Amino acid sequence: MSGRLVPCSPQEIGSLFLFEKLSPQQKGRLCGAGRVELFEPGPVYTEGDPATCFFVMVEGTVVLSRRVGGDDVEVSRTSQPGVYAGAMQAYLGDRVLQVYNNSMRVTVPTRFFVLPADTFADIMQEWFPMAVHLLEGLFFGVKSTQAAIGQRERLLALGSLSAGLTHELNNPAAAAVRATSTLRERVAKMRRKLAVIAEGPFSREVLAQLMEIQERTAERVAKAPALSPLEASDREDALTDWFEDHGMDHGWQLAPTFVQAGLDIDWLEQVAAAVDEEILPGAVGWLNYTVETELLMNEIEDSTTRISHLVDAAKQYSQLDRAPYRVVDVHELLDSTLLMLSGKIGQRIHVVKDYDRTLPAVPAYPAELNQVWTNLIDNAVAAMRSTDGDGTLTVRTALDHERVLVEFRDTGPGVAPEIRDRIFDPFFTTKPVGQGTGLGLDISWRIVVNKHHGSLKVESVPGDTRFQVLLPLTAEASEEAV
């Protein structure tokens, strides 16, 4: 939006605090190089547009706002002459994308002294070369520091996750190793048993019956139902009695395995009806090896499947094989993060997933959103452990006015009102020394707000703390560094 040109007075310009130390010649040059414009109430420039001008208010009222999600949030309102905004970093030139980092509007007729951005940069370089060097060093130094700190925070999170992932992988891997070793022993015994059967006085018809029973047994194992401890105990007692009634004194050793495999007395009666009584103990022993090998193979399959799921979750979490910016289902990201953090969450904290699966996918940087989830879950877990160690973590998703809501709710002690406004500040932490950097929420805020044009807020009372992330359904990729 352009204003109406009005005369520029070097004396009036020189009365503004930004220019009061300049010489008369410098003030005259400013009036010659720039202009004074009168803006009627309304917008002056919009956040994200190319920063073409540097504005200094001479008279009036100015309002600055930032876009958060789909809303413009007012961050400043003033009538103080001399306040400035716009292309304040024009002296950095092409090294930085020059766009307005906020929106400006006026509420009453307002006069601005306006300098084109390139003219402002030339004057800064000519009049204040040392200051420009210092400002450049400060700007790029802060950028480098933020990048280094962000990388350090990611490495700390990765180290913690790696330790948890190692622990999670170790359990199924160890189970698979144990099951494989036991399976080798059972197969060896089965071979010996087969040799004994082959040398015995069994007809081809009996052997065929045994093989058929073996196949049906394997099928039963694959469909074994889940039993409660009381149901399993009752069935073991019944099977033990059946074995004793049929002359097998070691039945109490077989019963637990048969129950785990889903085999009951009806099945044993079918076996007894299919073979002669004198070979029944041998047949049952042979089938016991079949049951054990099937159960062991199931255990190996479950363990390796668990390892595969963990590896898939690690790939999903790190996004190593994915585009850095793409449309994603937030539930996939949440599930992979929760799985990666399951070891850290522990058994005493109950996790509830309250997902709205009808939510549309959102454009995002998935690896960085996973970092946000990690920081918020880690804080929730730490808060609940600071009291009695128990608690409930609820992860909820919902649609909220054309934005996707991701909420992390914990039952910890809450965030005290006096520090609520500071928790997103860099280096602010309530954790003990050595246990927190104070950067997790700062980085999370910048990822959500700066890179995704969303919002991150907190609502907290003792026993109910909610960190809420709101992500727009449509957005453009941001190149702003985190």
Listed residue (349, 332, 370) closest to 161, CA to CA: 370
| Residue type present at position 320 | L
Give me 47's structure tokens: 């956040």
pTM value?
A: 0.48
DSSP 99: B
Q: Where are the domains of the chain?
A: 4-127, 161-309, 323-472
Listed residue (355, 351, 356, 380) closest to 466, CA to CA: 380
| Range 4-127 classified under CATH 2.60.120.10 | yes
pLDDT in single tens digits along all 482 residues of the chain: 667 888 888 888 888 888 888 888 888 888 888 888 899 999 989 888 888 889 999 989 999 887 765 567 777 888 989 888 888 777 777 777 788 888 899 899 999 999 888 888 888 888 877 877 777 777 777 677 666 666 666 666 556 566 666 666 777 777 788 888 888 887 787 777 667 666 666 677 777 777 777 787 777 777 777 778 888 888 888 888 888 888 887 878 888 888 888 888 888 888 788 777 777 787 787 788 888 888 888 888 877 877 776 776 666 666 555 567 889 899 988 988 888 788 778 888 999 999 999 999 999 888 888 888 988 998 888 888 877 778 899 999 999 888 999 999 999 888 777 666 666 665 445 554 344 444 567 778 888 888 888 888 888 888 899 999 999 988 655 545 44
CATH number of 323-472: 3.30.565.10
Give me 65's structure tokens: 């706002």
Give me 365's structure tokens: 């940087």
DSSP 94: G
